[in-house]
Amino acid sequence: MTTAIRDDLELEIEDLRKEKNAIVLAHYYQHADIQDIADFVGDSLALSRKAATCEQDVIVFCGVRFMAETAKILNPSRTVVLPDYEASCSLVDGCPPAVFQAWREKHPDHVVVTYINSSLELKSMSDYCCTSSNAVQIIEAIPADKKIIFAPDKNLGAYLAKVTGREMLLWQGSCMVHEIFSEKHLVQLKEQHQDALVLAHPECEETILALADFVGSTAGILKFARESEHTKFLIGTEARMIHAMEKEAPGKEFIPIPTSTGCACNECPHMMRNNMEKLRDCLRDLTPAIEIEESLRLRALLPIEAMFKVCDGDVPTSGD
Ligand code: 13P
Ligand code: SF4
């Protein structure tokens, strides 16, 4: 796309944002131009808080559908649109609600903790939600005598079981991006860059996490890189994250960990569905919009409220 067309598109988005009284929220895995034009860029937890408290009429959620749904659950009087409604997540797709319900019914004495990367229906069957930022805190808040089901990410679940020492029944879902980093290539990279630290998202497999110097959410990884005295990092999360890291920690070096093909281009195909044209279109047409049947919204809200009460002591709201 030529610079002139891009500039026109940015101006169009700017005008529409004012005309519609909209806020543009973006996840760190969005294309660089979307991150650069957004009013706020964050991880799942920060984006949920921002969506819950924002006062604009329209929330444009540049991320994947479960993130936009969470925004609508928390701030239902706003119009919540997303550039591409088909932007799903392999964790959502890998946990069909009816199959989960049958499994859950076999373990009625278990507390259900659900990663926010889940469907509305799965949330509605859960006691707590969590994000990768607060998952350890949520698990630790559950009394030690309670048994726990964790869904849908088996890798995050195994990491939580290890860190907290709690036994958990794990739904066997995984992130199609984080599960394909190559241990062999990471070992080679560590050899080549002995001064680098490895930063990894807890959705990675255990073999990758075992080689990491820091494990955390996208915002946690960013904070670590910003504050660290080290200047070189091997990155075990979605490749677009490096744009945010280079902006927030200029002068430092970020090297993506390759997949088994050797390609250091591990992007989330769902996140990549969004682009500037679709962002402009959804802002102009206010579609596709998230609509949630009210009784389902209220049931899905409960575990999200329970999460915020544990991690913030209160539930964020826009106050109206
Ligand atoms: P964060 O909450 O760490 O931003 O993670 C969201 C996600 O989808 C990771 O793949
Ligand atoms: Fe889902 Fe993985 Fe994409 Fe995150 S990176 S949205 S967990 S498929």
The mean predicted confidence, pLDDT, of the chain is: 97
Cα–Cα dist 201/149, whole Å? 21
pLDDT band, very low/low/confident/very high, at 2 (cuts 50, 70, 90): confident
Which tokens sit at 316? 């964020």
What pLDDT, on the 0 to 100 scale, is given for residue 319?
76
Contact criterion met (CB below 8 Å) for 273 and 86: yes
pLDDT band, very low/low/confident/very high, at 264 (cuts 50, 70, 90): confident
Is the pLDDT assigned to residue 223 strictly greater than 80?
Answer: yes
Cα–Cα dist 82/24, whole Å? 10
Q: Determine whether domain 91-170 maps to CATH 3.40.50.150.
A: no
What pLDDT, on the 0 to 100 scale, is given for residue 3?
75
Nearest ligand to the CA of 27 is: 1
Arithmetic mean of pLDDT, 279-298: 98
Arithmetic mean of pLDDT, 199-212: 98
Q: Say how many Å lie between the CA of residue 308 and the centre of ligand 1.
A: 17
Arithmetic mean of pLDDT, 212-241: 98
Cα–Cα dist 169/152, whole Å? 10
Q: Parallel, antiparallel, or unpaired: how do β-strands 147-151 and 197-200 relate?
A: unpaired
pLDDT band, very low/low/confident/very high, at 220 (cuts 50, 70, 90): very high
Summarised one tens digit per residue, pLDDT across range 138-154 is 999 999 999 999 999 99
What pLDDT, on the 0 to 100 scale, is given for residue 160?
98
Is the pLDDT assigned to residue 224 strictly greater than 70?
Answer: yes
Q: What's CA 6's distance to the chain center, in Å?
A: 27
Please name the residue that has the structure tokens 């997540």. 89
**Residue 79: strand pairing partners:** 58
Is the pLDDT assigned to residue 232 strictly greater than 80?
Answer: yes
Residue 250 neighbours by CB distance under 10 Å: 8
Cα–Cα dist 103/185, whole Å? 37
Ligand 1 proximal residues by C-beta, below 6 Å? 43-44, 117, 131-132, 175, 201, 203, 217-218
Q: Beta strands of 28-84 (E only): which ranges?
A: 40-42, 58-62, 79-81
Q: What percent of the chain has pLDDT over 70?
A: 99
For the chain, give every domain's residue range: 3-86+272-292, 91-170, 178-267
Q: Beta strands of the chain (E only): which ranges?
A: 22-27, 40-42, 58-62, 79-81, 110-115, 128-130, 147-151, 168-170, 197-200, 214-215, 232-236, 253-256
Is the pLDDT assigned to residue 1 strictly greater than 70?
Answer: no
- Judge whether 91-170 and 178-267 match in fold: yes
Q: Determine whether domain 178-267 maps to CATH 3.40.50.10800.
A: yes
Is the pLDDT assigned to residue 5 strictly greater than 90?
Answer: no
Please name the residue that has the structure tokens 């250091």. 264
What pLDDT, on the 0 to 100 scale, is given for residue 7?
84
Nearest ligand to the CA of 89 is: 2
Helix (H, G, I), strand (E, B) or coil at 143: coil
Q: Say how many Å lie between the CA of residue 19 and the centre of ligand 1.
A: 31
Pocket probe mutation, ligand 1, options 93, 132, 240, max atoms within 8 Å of Cβ:
132
pLDDT band, very low/low/confident/very high, at 320 (cuts 50, 70, 90): confident
Summarised one tens digit per residue, pLDDT across range 35-74 is 999 999 999 999 999 999 999 999 999 999 999 999 999 9
Cα–Cα dist 131/46, whole Å? 10
What pLDDT, on the 0 to 100 scale, is given for residue 173?
98
Arithmetic mean of pLDDT, 2-11: 82
CATH of the structural domain 3-86+272-292, one choice from 3.40.50.300, 3.10.129.10, 3.40.50.970, 3.40.50.10800:
3.40.50.10800
What pLDDT, on the 0 to 100 scale, is given for residue 4?
74
